Amino acid sequence: FRLDEKPYLLKDKWIVLTLENIENEKLYALKKVENYKEVLYSLAELIEKRDPYTAGHSKRVATYAKKIASKMHLTKQNCDMIYEAGILHDIGKILIPSEIIEKPTKLTPEEFKEVKKHPFYGYKAIKDDQQISPTTKAVVLLHHERLDGSGYPNGFTGEKIQDAVRICAICDAFDAMTNDRPYRKALSFDDAINEIIKCKGSHFDPELVDIFLEILSNK
């Protein structure tokens, strides 16, 4: 396997782990796995090790998302599925080149176009596996969709975006805003809240925004 071949998780439970990708993007480990989900969780951790600016991002998104689901009085099973979805939402980024992920300046249009492929890469990795819930698959593919259709990869609007996706989208955006990135400093807590409020009803579900702000106010 070469980097430009864009290796995916394979259907027969063989998985390409880009363990050395973090350092030199040349060596790959091929491993037979019994518990596919454990490996996916490991991949989620690998992604964050590639980029120290995103360390802890997936767990924070998952924790926020589960709190929203709990406030909505969803079942424990559904809350757990939404937590899993939050953990795995960015796994497609393992296939985005490090020079893009770690770039210290603003991305070019072509580079951003490549970053926008990560939901598809992640979805392709998990779509055929029965151990992964439909909820998680939807979140991985659609967490950058917006209510007004301005998101990606499909430009879905309104009811085409499932509740779990709407939940994780708010949490993902807030955590991204409140943590440093190579190309920008984090927004303050209050500024990030104002951004979420500004996008209420356009990018984000208004009722879920209200629940999320209530959770943040009780931190």
* Average pLDDT across the chain, whole number: 83
CA 191 to CA 22: how far, in whole Å?
33
User: Which residue in 11, 26, 31, 93 is the catalytic one?
Assistant: 93
Least confident residue range of 49-53, 81-85, 113-117, 129-133: 49-53
Per-residue pLDDT tens over the stretch 175-186 = 999 998 877 889
Which of 53, 130, 40, 135 is CA-nearest to residue 90? Answer: 40
The answer to whether 174 and 64 are in contact (CB under 8 A) is yes
- Give me the pLDDT at residue 28, please: 37
CA 143 to CA 216: how far, in whole Å?
21
The answer to whether 94 and 47 are in contact (CB under 8 A) is yes
Q: What contacts 159, CB < 8 A, 6 or more positions away? A: none
The answer to whether 147 and 160 are in contact (CB under 8 A) is no
Share above pLDDT 70 across residues of the chain, in percent, rounded to a whole number? 82
Tokens read off for 123: 């979805």
List C-alpha distances in Å: 32 to 37, 51, 126, 152.
Answer: 13, 26, 16, 33
The answer to whether 101 and 118 are in contact (CB under 8 A) is no
Share above pLDDT 90 across residues of the chain, in percent, rounded to a whole number? 57
Is residue 32 annotated as a catalytic residue, yes or no? no
Per-residue pLDDT tens over the stretch 31-59 = 444 566 777 777 787 777 777 667 789 99
**Residue of 175 and 128 predicted with greater confidence:** 175
Confidence of residue 168 (pLDDT cuts 50, 70, 90): very high
In 3-state terms, what secondary structure has residue 108? coil
Tell if the pTM clears 0.85, that is, is over it.
no
Question: Which of 6-10, 13-17, 91-95, 207-211 is most confident?
Answer: 207-211
